[in-house]
Amino acid sequence: MKKKHQFRQETEAVRGGTDLSKKNGPLTTPIYQTSTFEVTDMQEQLRVTPTDSFYTRYGNPTSTVAEKAIAELEGVDAALLFSSGMAAITTSFLSLLQAGDHVVAQRDIYGGVIKFLSQWLPKLGIETTFVDTNDIEQHERAIRPNTKIIHVESPTNPNVRVVDLEKIAALARKHHLITTIDSTFSTPINCRPAEWGIDLVLHSGTKYFGGHSDIICGIAAGRRDLIEQIHHTRTTLGCCMDPHAVFLLLRGIKTLAVRVERQNESALRIAEFLSQHPKIARVHYPMLKGHPDHAIAKRQIVGGGGVLSFEVEGSGADACRVGEALSLFTLAPSLGGVDSLVSIPVLTSHAMISPELRKKMGVTDQMIRLSVGIEHVEDLIADLEKGLAVLSTTRKEAVVAD
């Protein structure tokens, strides 16, 4: 279901969703900061009910521009905005599933989604089987007569695994299942899952789409029939995005392509630098030759994205020391913004996950995750060099103290 774009992605990011033939209007999309919309008569009232000019929980003209731009970027029929990435994912699942249904989901997905699938959906009579990333046979064995959805996430956090979407889509077609993907780490600049046959693309727009670590938002994008169904559910559950924040999202989307291109380049340079470093045991980045999904990545994604992780020689305490010694890489969770960030997965995204399950996911105490921003890459590498130097210093000092 390859969709033809009117323009290339860099152009859609800047101008997508707007009417280029319109004259004498504001260049940037105004904020329709209103909860309701006035009509002249009852006929018009009836006419506007299903539109974005009825009541903002149903839709809003500012949101519509962003939704259209995102649909163009993903190459799909339609998109919807939500108050957070979690709202996009939970609303979509609640919309597509009913009591008695079953989900097959990848094991190493976002923690909040694991919690929703394993602790909340069972209360509604919906079960999930978790399977290993890219083990397609295991995915197939987990499918039951009542399975409705296969959910994947690509690339993953923090091991940056890349899912073979072609195989997942083929498996879903064979068993008549809906495929959903959390594509937050990819962005449509690096991968358009719909082109590989995935039905519904989900994002935390908080990350790359917003791009400046200043808003919380979510996205669902896909086939019109799915999006219409999810729209009804969003209206009922009420997790729409506020128009004021949509303005910031729109501003972010304009630079999505240039930001992600820079982040791809810088993250690769940093991954290469780290792989040469004597104090580092392992680097996880799909564009490096040794990565388990390198072949899939080469085929399926344009760039590896801004997130990478590495494991230091030594202990978890050593990893913490390195994290604290960095200054340009700011110690904070989250990712995808213009500012580079560093975090320790076992203390942040994976803190609530048992050590056994973490081991299964390949998340170790010695692991450090970077979200590469758009600063100059040489400054970022210099910061890492300085930070990693604490590993040598501490060792020497320890020897002297002995």
Contact residues for ligand PLP (CB under 6 A)? 84-86, 110, 112, 153, 157, 182, 184, 204, 206-207, 216, 218
Residue 78, Cβ neighbours under 10 Å: how many?
20
CB closer to ligand PLP out of 112 and 316: 112
CB closer to ligand PLP out of 10 and 339: 339
Q: Which of 15, 57, 107, 254 is catalytic?
A: 57
Burial 49-77 (b: 16+ CB within 10 A, else e): eeebbbbbebbbbbbbbbbbbbbbbbbbb
Q: How far is CA 194 from CA 157, 188, 197, in A?
A: 21, 10, 5
Q: Which of 182, 293, 318, 383 is catalytic?
A: 182
CB of 392 to ligand PLP, least distance (A): 33
CB of 245 to ligand PLP, least distance (A): 12
CB closer to ligand PLP out of 85 and 387: 85
Element housing 151 (H / E): strand 147-153
Q: How far is CA 18 from CA 28, 169, 339, 380, in A?
A: 9, 32, 29, 36
156's CB contacts (< 8 A; 6+ apart) are 106, 108, 109, 133, 163, 185
Q: Which of 161, 207, 234, 321 is catalytic?
A: 207
Helices in 79-162 by DSSP H: which ranges? 85-96, 111-115, 136-142
CB closer to ligand PLP out of 47 and 115: 115
Please measure the distance between the N-terminal and C-terminal CA atoms of the chain and give it in whole angstroms. Answer: 66
360's CB contacts (< 8 A; 6+ apart) are 107
Residue 174, Cβ neighbours under 10 Å: how many?
10
Q: Catalytic residue at 57? A: yes
Q: Catalytic residue at 182? A: yes
> What is the token pair recorded at 115?
């919690």
CB of 223 to ligand PLP, least distance (A): 21
Query: In the complex, which residue's CB is closest to ligand PLP?
Result: 85
What is the C-alpha separation between 163 and 188, in angstroms, rounded? 15
CB of 389 to ligand PLP, least distance (A): 30
CB closer to ligand PLP out of 112 and 314: 112
CB of 149 to ligand PLP, least distance (A): 16
CB closer to ligand PLP out of 82 and 247: 82
CB closer to ligand PLP out of 219 and 328: 219
Q: Which of 52, 101, 110, 161 is catalytic?
A: 110
Burial 196-234 (b: 16+ CB within 10 A, else e): bbbbbbbbbbbbbbbbbbebbbbbbbbbeebbeebbebb
Phi, psi angle pair for 290, to nearest 5°: -75, -10
CB of 184 to ligand PLP, least distance (A): 4
CB of 84 to ligand PLP, least distance (A): 3
- Helix and strand numbers, DSSP H then E, in the chain: 15, 12
| Residues that are catalytic | 57, 110, 182, 207
